Amino acid sequence: MAVAFNRSKVLNEFGYPDATWPGPVHGTDIGLVEKSSGLFPDVDGLITKRRETVLTTMGADCVPLIAVEVEKKIALTAHIGWKGAADSIHQSIFEAIENLGGNLLHTQVLLGPAICGKCYEVDEERILQVSKVLPAAKSESGLDLRLGLKDVLNQKVKSVEIVGDCTYESPNLFSHRRDGVTGRQAGFVVLL
Ligand SMILES: [Zn+2]
């Protein structure tokens, strides 16, 4: 209930009461949104060409990604943890945009607040799994998914911007690793 309430509150403040939320499973599927449907189950990403149709993404250490193809007007959101990164969700993102007729050279990407490479200590095997796909994600003691994603995305898209601090270090941000059960940051995108 609290989650539903908070979601509708933030959307009303945003000026769009209806939205689509992904039901993340740490997979690589991107759901095509034809109209706002509340929950879109079993996907970590959403894409639409529809105007006035809010796509959301959430994270608390995982990377919230927003992409917009500015010429063809395509919006995409994704939620990316180590598993999706290791399974090349960035390729699914490229394909989803191109399948809707978009051009990656006209696509701008934002990577929102996520845990940094200093704070995200993981074991060797996980570092290996992810850095095979995202070489620049490898940090001294773990993984920085945003740096890894920025590197591979930059090879195809127009621009990639990292927005926001490390979730673990910032007291103003939710961090799953720091807090255990926790809230989430939410990102929204809407085509006007
Ligand atoms: Zn950090």
**pLDDT score recorded for residue 1:** 42
User: Mean pLDDT over residues 127-132, rounded?
Assistant: 96
Residue type, 136: A
Which residues fall inside 5 Å of ion ligand 1, going by CB?
Answer: 116, 118-119, 166, 168-169
CA of 128 to the centre of ligand 1 (A): 20
With 70 as the cut, is the pLDDT of residue 3 above it? no
**pLDDT score recorded for residue 134:** 98
How do residues 177-187 score in pLDDT, each as one tens digit?
888 876 788 88
Q: Tokens 């599927």 identify what position?
A: 29
pLDDT band, residue 5 (cuts 50/70/90) = low
Please give the Cα distance from 60 to 151 (Å, whole number): 22
How do residues 17-41 score in pLDDT, each as one tens digit?
788 999 989 999 999 999 888 899 9
User: Across all residues in the chain, what is the average pLDDT?
Assistant: 92
Q: Tell me, what CATH number does 100's domain have?
A: 3.60.140.10
Please give the Cα distance from 177 to 174 (Å, whole number): 9
CA of 103 to the centre of ligand 1 (A): 33
CA of 169 to the centre of ligand 1 (A): 5
CA of 106 to the centre of ligand 1 (A): 31
CA of 165 to the centre of ligand 1 (A): 8
CA of 48 to the centre of ligand 1 (A): 32
Total number of domains in the chain: 1
DSSP string, 103-147: -GGGEEEEE-SB--TTT-B--HHHHHHHHHH-GGGB-SSBB-HHH
With 90 as the cut, is the pLDDT of residue 69 above it? yes
Query: CA neighbours within 13 Å on the CB side: how many for 75?
Result: 20
User: Mean pLDDT over residues 33-61, rounded?
Assistant: 92
Model confidence, pTM: 0.92
* Full residue range of the structural domain in which residue 78 is found: 2-189
pLDDT band, residue 133 (cuts 50/70/90) = very high
CA of 170 to the centre of ligand 1 (A): 8
**pLDDT score recorded for residue 33:** 96
CA of 97 to the centre of ligand 1 (A): 31
C-beta neighbour count of 15 within 10 angstroms: 8
